[in-house]
Structure 1
């Protein structure tokens, strides 16, 4: 069963590396925990998921859209934008650096897909050589309560993109 509007976002622990503008792209800092309920309690936030960093739709449209829309999201009360992928925090940190996410988007790994499973939004891409990954989605939460869920049902970025999220705020 997938998460829906009105639900409380499940708690979970992701991995991320806080943004450091002086960090070289080849640096390998150790990820720290991002505890979903602890970080998002009392805040309006967007959590969006990409099936794979460095893949076409994720790299060309989805992530750049949220990086570009950060100020517009803030103007609508969003204080945190979190990109998750069923990937480790090391890869998500490299992806953040490569795409210059800076402090606009927190790039967090859900390596064991436990949080993605709790949302009911995992998919099996084994036939494509990718294993278990997340579906492409976006969720808006306000004080841990789900206000919007956009899950892609085909290739591309529409209901999970920054423009769709902005239109629902």
Structure 2
């Protein structure tokens, strides 16, 4: 139970400071665990690594900003990515589409300029992409993608 409470503090810290550089050492200190133990327990508790969880929080916030009409270059820095290219890579990995495609699909659903069949097809496609995003954020990806992500995480010293 104590680990769950300390992990909740780390998770709350990630959600409050997603737009800043966050290190595993900071999160482990909040949880009163070693860095390696924290990473293991976090993955067991939440189904994804701390870095993947942080990226998921950033992408969710980015989606909201994009739908509000904020330019992609501004969104990238607002949510804590180094630059627009870094943001675009993570967005595409998580959502299966680029930020501009995300905006276009959402606009097509909302505009209602197409016939009912077209609107339905766009809505179904968007729903499928959202389900894929949720699966990625929850840590359910194909094994090859999982191995690539693990390899990247091993080389990172900050989140």
More helix per residue:
2
Q: TM-score, normalised by structure 2?
A: 0.26
Which structure has more strand as a fraction of its residues? 1
Larger radius of gyration: 2
TM-score by length of 1: 0.25
